[in-house]
Amino acid sequence: MRRYLFHSQTQYAGRLHREYDSKREVIIYDYVDEAVPMLARMFGKRKVGYRAIGYRI
């Protein structure tokens, strides 16, 4: 996976995990149109990144 993709995913997820009094959990919804091969490949790369930073898919 390209390094910049991993870093941007990590940065995005990190922003979501910033603590606020009213926040109880963080859920990331990632939608993909698997009928479009390019979008399916991009999602596959994102899945690797999510797993690398500890998310369950």
Rounded to two decimals, the pTM is 0.66
Question: Buried b / exposed e across 24-39, counting CB within 10 Å, b at 16+?
Answer: eeeeeeeeeeeeeeee
Q: Where are the domains of the chain?
A: 3-52
Q: Show the tokens assigned to 49.
A: 């990144």
Percent of the chain's residues with pLDDT above 90: 23
pLDDT, tens digit, 9 for 90 and up, residues 4-40:
555 777 787 777 777 778 878 888 888 999 999 999 9
Dihedral sign computed on CA atoms, order 40, 8, 19, 22: negative
